[in-house]
Amino acid sequence: MTDLVCPDAPAATEYATVCVAWELSKAEWKLGMLLPGAQQMSRFAIKGGDLAAAAARLAAARAKAARSGLPVRILSCYEAGFEGHWLHRWLEGQGVVSHEVDPSSIEVNRRARQAKTDRIDLARIMRAFLAHLRGEPLACSIVHVPSPEEEDDKRPSRERERLLKERTAHTNRIKALLHAQGARDAKPLARDFLARLKDARTGDGRALPPRLAAEIAREHERLVLVDKQIAAIEAESKAECQKAAPGSSSAKVVQLARLKGLGITGAQVLVKEAFYRRFANRRQVGGSFGLAGTPYNSGEQERDQGISKAGNRRARTIAVELAWRWVLWQPESELARWFKARVGDAKGRVRRIAIVALARKLMVALWRYLETGVVPSGAVLSASL
């Protein structure tokens, strides 16, 4: 295999190329290797996470390919998923040109009943990877792998998102337990909640049963802890923004937060989840958020299936939320006027569809704002953060 073209490979006229596909699971890793000149793929199984065995297999393949006398390169791919990005970085450290593939981008058999084994999956990944190396653009989609620092920057906003759900669950649980006893309008986050709990009465005038009161107290203790952790994360984020270095991700957060209606939290999610990357054009921006349209045109049938939702879920969610806020806080901006002219006095589904279109336009405008410093047309900057 000396005719494959790969843009990530070092410059040279000809190579002895080894292609490696990985099928990963917790217990076992399957490796498929295609050596130069081979007609069939060799398959190997190693224990999951056994890097010594993986390195030995790569070294053996490199030694066999070197017999041709040509420079050797190893091109590797595996489906992005539970293993995260660490394996990609380890492979790069071994001198391997690694690719992470979006699993949903690989075509599958459309039969109602289809065989599925690790052996079949390995062959499917290898076929898609080889087609990608031949230059077929739709064979599979390669995942953008963030640096360790960029990946770690996502942790605060993602932890906050999870803690908010946990806080809501604790609050709802306490309210439900009290409501089942006829005690209404509870405010679990109030400072004097435990004091009021001691004096609480059921709907028929009884004191709360002791075991129920103890359960609610323990639930409230977990609620208070989660609330403190959320406050600590938000305080840390604000402190980072106050001492943001020029060109850093925190500086981008501050730049976005200057726009009225965005705020530190929304700007942080946008930057950490999406705008840490470099985009070449507005189509890449829309695609990364999953806000690109999905047409269905076949014969006489022409309809739109809605947005693809193929991008970052967290970024897409905050994009739509910020679009609603943009209409409220930036009513004189060009984008807000476009939205109002589009929907008029319509309610319901029409507004929900239009707000998604506005979200895509807004994300493109914010990307240009970060890249060029040009404020979106008609937008107002906040006096302070």
**Per-residue model confidence (pLDDT) at position 258:** 93
| pLDDT bucket at 312, cuts 50 / 70 / 90 | confident
Cβ within 8 Å of residue 206, ≥6 positions away: none
Cβ within 8 Å of residue 265, ≥6 positions away: 157, 160, 234, 237
Q: Measured between alpha carbons, how far is 46 from 21 in angstroms, rounded to an integer?
A: 13
pLDDT digits (tens, 9 = 90+) for 125-164: 999 999 999 999 888 889 999 999 999 999 999 999 999 9
Give backbone dihedrals phi and psi of 45, rounded to 5 degrees, phi first: -125, 130
**Per-residue model confidence (pLDDT) at position 4:** 47
Q: Is the pLDDT of residue 49 over 80?
A: yes
Q: State the Cα angle at 145 between 140 and 146, rounded to 5°.
A: 155
Helix and strand element counts for the chain (H, E)? 13, 7
**Per-residue model confidence (pLDDT) at position 271:** 94
Mean pLDDT confidence for 12-21: 84
Please tell me the pTM assigned to this model: 0.83
Q: Is the pLDDT of residue 346 over 50?
A: yes
| pLDDT bucket at 13, cuts 50 / 70 / 90 | low
Instruction: Name the percent of the chain lying above pLDDT 70.
Output: 96
Beta strands in 261-342 (DSSP E): 293-298, 301-307
pLDDT digits (tens, 9 = 90+) for 95-118: 999 999 999 888 887 787 778 888
pLDDT digits (tens, 9 = 90+) for 289-303: 988 877 777 777 778
Structure tokens at 21: 């596909």
What is the SS3 assignment for 83?
coil
pLDDT digits (tens, 9 = 90+) for 245-291: 888 889 999 999 999 989 899 999 999 999 998 999 999 898 889 88
